[in-house]
Amino acid sequence: MNTTMIKKILNLFLKSNCPLCENPSDEYICSSCQRKLEDYRFNNCFRFWQGDLPVFIWGSYDGFLKLALARMKYDNYPQIGEEMGYFLAQSWLAQSFTSKIKNLVVVPIPLHPKKLQSRGFNQAEIIARGFCQLTGYSLELKGLLRVRETSPMFGLSREERSQNVLEAFTIGKSFLKRRPRDPILLIDDIYTTGTTVKEAAKILRFEGIEVLGVGAMATSKK
């Protein structure tokens, strides 16, 4: 075997495999899968940035993006979430009015401790981490606390959804000690009807904390 061949083989081992297609890749998510994800990105991630609780959403909860989110959550690939946080941050920074916002406190929607234990990680927290790494905003993991276990939202009517998250959150330890001086950006992985984030924002605002809006990776909203 010549050295070029040895190098080639070594390189194959040194490269990690893309978690989405399992091909060897230099980047965590390979460039071909990144392009496939891009197909689901909204042309305007700020299309829902309006009203009482503006929402910034990266893409459509469909196809390859839906698959990637499921792979992260159910096949235990938390690092996919970090990459998604970078995507979210890139779109945030690409918009002139949001790129000018210098100070924000990013708060991921918490999981109930029981669910956190069974999954091992909170996907919203990992997305928020990636988002903050690129934007430089401060990350506050203990801004909110999930106090009540809720049933999965799928298949529930709008009214049942509201009942389901009613008093699901309370203000977390960090904010109890010291109210944040900067406005909050809530982060979640999937935005469905917004019932969960609205409830979270309500609790924070009730405590006199300013909430700017919500950032999410995907929505089925058209």
Contact positions vs Zn ion (CB under 5 A) = 18, 20-21, 30, 33
The residue among 11 and 99 lying less far from Zn ion, judged by its C-beta, is: 11
Which amino acid is it at 148? Answer: R
Minimum gap (Å) between residue 158 Cβ and Zn ion: 37
Minimum gap (Å) between residue 71 Cβ and Zn ion: 11
Minimum gap (Å) between residue 59 Cβ and Zn ion: 17
Please report, for residues 156, 195, 217, the alpha-carbon distance to residue 162 in angstroms, rounded to integers and kept in the order given.
9, 6, 22
Q: Which residue has the tokens 């399992």?
A: 22
Instruction: Tell me if residue 12 falls in helix, strand or coil.
Output: helix
Minimum gap (Å) between residue 215 Cβ and Zn ion: 25
Minimum gap (Å) between residue 88 Cβ and Zn ion: 19
The residue among 30 and 144 lying less far from Zn ion, judged by its C-beta, is: 30
Residues 201, 220: Cα–Cα separation, whole Å? 21
The residue among 33 and 128 lying less far from Zn ion, judged by its C-beta, is: 33
The residue among 14 and 21 lying less far from Zn ion, judged by its C-beta, is: 21
Secondary structure in 3-state letters for 157-222:
CHHHHHHHHCCCEEECHHHHHCCCCCCEEEEEEEECCCHHHHHHHHHHHHCCCCEEEEEEEEECCC
The residue among 28 and 131 lying less far from Zn ion, judged by its C-beta, is: 28
Residues 169, 172: Cα–Cα separation, whole Å? 9
Instruction: Tell me if residue 80 falls in helix, strand or coil.
Output: helix
